[in-house]
């Protein structure tokens, strides 16, 4: 039930209205068969105790109230069956929200909002969590408790995931289950992790990679290093995105490949003269190719990261310390995204104002860009320090 004040200022209770998807429609009461909007409504659970009708407060959120209703029904059913009490009518609930159905609805909702990156992440998290819960014989949202979150965290750590990855997975999992109507008391806080400074490539590392690169990977490295493109932006960049006169590169959607820029916004990035010349030469060599780093089949190359790691290994640049070096010969220190971090840090250290760097990066808020305002280090920083007159 939803409790609210009517137009005359009188408190009333009415059944909570539901939408076409079967979920409680927030802020709506069912009056004479119609869903009407109400203001400042709160939810109650109407049930019987010792044959008397009582109303238990269930909060202000419809999804949470509905989850509490489900839990109350299950509790009453168990109590009635255990006691064999003929005075309690047991109504079996057949529409309990399943993990499978809510996961599909959550992903579909993200895709409907054109949040394709969020949908992809949700797909990974829901598949893994459902698999873990099958081992615990749990298939419904109302069965999930705090310990299941910790079980998921432990599984990620056992797989070698970093603390930040565990926290990101937790947030996606919590978002999905809140969407499914889980009681918020069953969701523990996001695990804490050390917020590390962005790591960037040194000049020696970039020189080493470029020296070992073939023409294809040379263009890939230079685009990451001098334009700060994200992984997916690198994969889907086309020659038509390059404006030779304005010397800019435009990041924009490629609907045929289901690629959309992060935050759903286009942006223009200036191209340095030396990189523009490299791209001119590369286009001449790629006659008939629309995608700058496309495959032989003229499709986006989804294996750029693997190709980079193999290049690093051939150039003997592996750190030799991480597990990936020892087990896979693919150093975890070398990633495509690290070129982007190097690009942003380099711009800021060379005096380009933070608002301009924010625009080049495609960041929605300036706080994201400010992470790259890290102290300079190395010989240049030491030389400036030595020139200081104390």
- Where helices occur in 237-322 by DSSP H, the ranges are 273-285, 304-314
Question: 15 with 51: CB under 8 angstroms?
Answer: no
Tell me, yes or no, whether 175 lies in a domain.
Answer: yes
Asked if residue 60 belongs to a domain, the reply is yes
End residue of a domain, out of 28, 57, 83: 83
State how far the Cα of 355 lies from the Cα of 367, in Å rounded to an integer: 11
CA 370, CA 60: separation in Å to the nearest integer?
37
Same domain, 323 and 211: yes
Asked if residue 179 lies in contact with residue 109, where contact means CB atoms within 8 angstroms, the answer is: yes
In a domain, 129, yes or no: yes
Residue 195 lies in a domain: no
76-90 pLDDT, tens digit per residue, is 766 666 566 555 554
Last residue of a domain, one of 159, 186, 213: 186
230 and 314 belong to one structural domain: yes
Asked if residue 135 and residue 57 are part of one domain, the reply reads: no
Q: Are residues 126 and 252 in the same domain?
A: no
Residue 332 lies in a domain: yes
Which tens digits make up the pLDDT trace of 208-263?
999 999 999 999 999 999 999 999 999 999 999 999 999 999 999 998 988 888 87
> Are residues 230 and 146 part of one domain?
no
Angle separating helix axes 146-158 and 163-179, nearest 10 degrees: 140
Tell me the pTM.
Answer: 0.61
- Show the DSSP H helices in 286-373 as ranges: 304-314, 323-328, 337-349, 354-361, 366-370
Residues 159 and 208 in one domain: no
161 and 31 in one domain? no
DSSP state of 145: -
The H helix count followed by the E strand count for the chain is: 15, 10
User: CB-based contacts of 202: which residues, under 8 Å, 6+ apart?
Assistant: 378
Number of domains, the chain: 3
Q: How confident is the model at residue 123 (pLDDT cuts 50, 70, 90)?
A: very high
**What average pLDDT does range 26-39 have in this prediction?**
87
Averaged over 281-307, what is the pLDDT? 94
Q: Tell me: do 142 and 262 sit in the same domain.
A: no
Range of the domain at 151: 99-186
CATH number of the domain enclosing 238 = 1.10.443.10
On whether both 223 and 290 belong to a single domain, the answer is: yes
My answer on whether 70 and 144 are in the same domain is no
> How sure is the predictor about 92, in pLDDT bands with cuts at 50, 70 and 90?
very low
- Domain C-terminal end among 58, 83, 108: 83
Q: Are residues 230 and 363 in the same domain?
A: yes
Say whether both 127 and 243 belong to one domain.
no
């Amino acid at each position: 039930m939803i409790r609210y004040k009517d137009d005359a200022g009188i408190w009333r209770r009415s059944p909570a209205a539901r939408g076409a998807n079967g979920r409680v429609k927030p802020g709506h009461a069912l009056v004479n068969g119609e869903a009407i909007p109400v203001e400042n409504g709160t939810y109650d659970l109407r049930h019987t105790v010792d044959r008397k009708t009582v109303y238990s407060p269930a909060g202000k959120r419809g999804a949470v109230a509905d989850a509490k209703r489900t839990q109350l029904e299950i509790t009453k059913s168990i109590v009635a069956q255990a006691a064999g009490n003929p005075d309690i009518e047991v109504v079996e609930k057949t529409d309990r929200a399943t993990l499978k159905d809510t996961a599909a609805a959550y992903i579909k909702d993200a895709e409907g909002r054109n949040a394709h990156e969020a949908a992809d992440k949700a797909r990974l998290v829901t598949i893994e969590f459902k698999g873990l819960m099958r081992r615990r014989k749990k298939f419904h949202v109302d069965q999930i408790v705090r310990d299941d979150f910790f079980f998921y965290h432990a599984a990620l750590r056992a797989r070698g995931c970093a603390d930040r990855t565990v926290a990101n997975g937790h947030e996606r999992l919590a978002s999905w289950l809140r969407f499914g109507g889980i009681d918020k008391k069953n969701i523990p806080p996001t695990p804490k992790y050390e917020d590390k400074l962005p790591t960037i490539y040194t000049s020696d590392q970039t020189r080493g990679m470029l020296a070992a690169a073939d023409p294809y990977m040379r263009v890939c490295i230079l685009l990451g290093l001098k334009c700060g493109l994200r992984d997916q932006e690198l994969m889907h960049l086309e020659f038509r995105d390059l404006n030779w006169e304005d010397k800019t590169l435009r990041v924009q959607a490629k609907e045929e490949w289901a690629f959309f820029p992060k935050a759903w916004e286009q942006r223009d990035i200036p191209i340095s003269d030396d990189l523009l010349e490299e791209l001119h030469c590369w286009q001449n060599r790629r006659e008939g190719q629309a995608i700058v780093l496309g495959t032989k089949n003229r499709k986006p190359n989804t294996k750029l990261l693997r190709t980079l790691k193999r290049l690093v290994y051939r150039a003997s640049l592996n750190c030799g310390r991480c597990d990936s070096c020892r087990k896979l010969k693919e150093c975890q220190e070398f990633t495509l995204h690290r070129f982007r971090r190097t690009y942003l840090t380099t711009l800021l250290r060379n005096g380009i104002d933070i608002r301009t760097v924010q625009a080049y990066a495609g960041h929605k808020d300036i706080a994201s860009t400010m992470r790259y305002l890290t102290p300079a280090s190395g010989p240049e920083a030491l030389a400036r320090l030595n020139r200081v007159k104390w």
